[in-house]
Amino acid sequence: MAQIRNRTILITGASSGIGEATARELAPGGANLFLGARRTDRLSALAEELGERAGWCALDVTDAASFDAFVDAAEERFGRIDALVNNAGVMPLSPLVSIKRDEWKRMIDVNIHGVLNGIASVLPRFTAQHDGHVINVASIAAHLVVPTAAVYCGTKHAVRAITEGLRLEHDEIRATLISPGVVATELGHDISDPALAADLIEWRRKSLTPDAIARAVRFALEQPAGVDINEVIVRPTAAGM
């Protein structure tokens, strides 16, 4: 894991699931980790467990000022930023006919604006240092559309397009899209439709554990500067989705 030693990697949504697993996966390789999310009790416990190379800061990815402060705090702590893992996301599924405008807005705010806020906070630094890596955690929902997930899929299709645009516009900055299939995490805990919440339990019967996605993130990070892993899809062997 020589390629990540002493590199500073920021992870959003590090308070649970894939973000937390990514921090655990990267820590033994000697990376400096800076963790962000809203549940700071979880961040501080994780950082304490990972040791002195892990820092944390409260982060609401929907708030551009909060993201700027998060990136500033990471730079102050470690002196430089090498990579951002835009992982935070929400998935309150519902059929369009339910007209859950608040949930649509929350998905768009977190899943799209959250990613854009992250890019905006690191891009000036990455262009100035002629180096940097943005890893966006999308979903298989970036590649297909299913009923009840129209808005969620829309947000993840947008993340895929934004990642490709970032890649095309910058020769010195790596852009990676990681698209997980079904993973056993807290995602979807906020589904307000009881029938869909029950369906989620059924889908999760064949699921990956979050460390499977964390290993894909590490694989992308470990490549030499001239090699950009553009896109990775990771699904459970035993499931269609």
Which residues make up the interface to ligand NDP (CB under 6 A)?
A: 12-13, 15-19, 37-39, 59-62, 87-91, 110, 137, 139, 180, 182-183, 185-187, 210
Q: How many CB atoms lie within 10 A of CB 15?
A: 25
- Measured from the CB atom, the residue of 47 and 90 that comes closer to ligand NDP is 90
Indicate the helix (H) or strand (E) that contains 118: helix 114-129
- Measured from the CB atom, the residue of 33 and 183 that comes closer to ligand NDP is 183
- The answer to whether residues 210 and 14 touch, using CB atoms and an 8 Å cutoff, is no
Is-catalytic flag, 191? no
For the CB of residue 30, give the shortest distance to ligand NDP in the complex, in Å.
Answer: 24
How far is it, in rounded angstroms, from Cα 143 to Cα 125? 31
Q: Is 174 left (phi over 0), alpha (psi -120 to 50) or beta?
A: beta
The sheet that has 133-137: what strands, in order across it? 54-58, 32-37, 8-12, 83-86, 133-137, 174-180, 231-234
Find the catalytic residue in 152, 179, 182, 216: 152
Backbone phi and psi for residue 133, each to the nearest 5 degrees, phi listed first: -145, 125
For the CB of residue 139, give the shortest distance to ligand NDP in the complex, in Å.
Answer: 3
- Measured from the CB atom, the residue of 101 and 128 that comes closer to ligand NDP is 101
For the CB of residue 51, give the shortest distance to ligand NDP in the complex, in Å.
Answer: 20
For the CB of residue 57, give the shortest distance to ligand NDP in the complex, in Å.
Answer: 11
- Measured from the CB atom, the residue of 129 and 219 that comes closer to ligand NDP is 219
For 39, half-sphere exposure in the C-beta direction (CA atoms, 13 angstrom radius) is 11
For the CB of residue 202, give the shortest distance to ligand NDP in the complex, in Å.
Answer: 13
Residue of 181, 168, 182, 143 lying closest to 230 (CA atoms)? 168
- The residues carrying an active-site annotation are 152
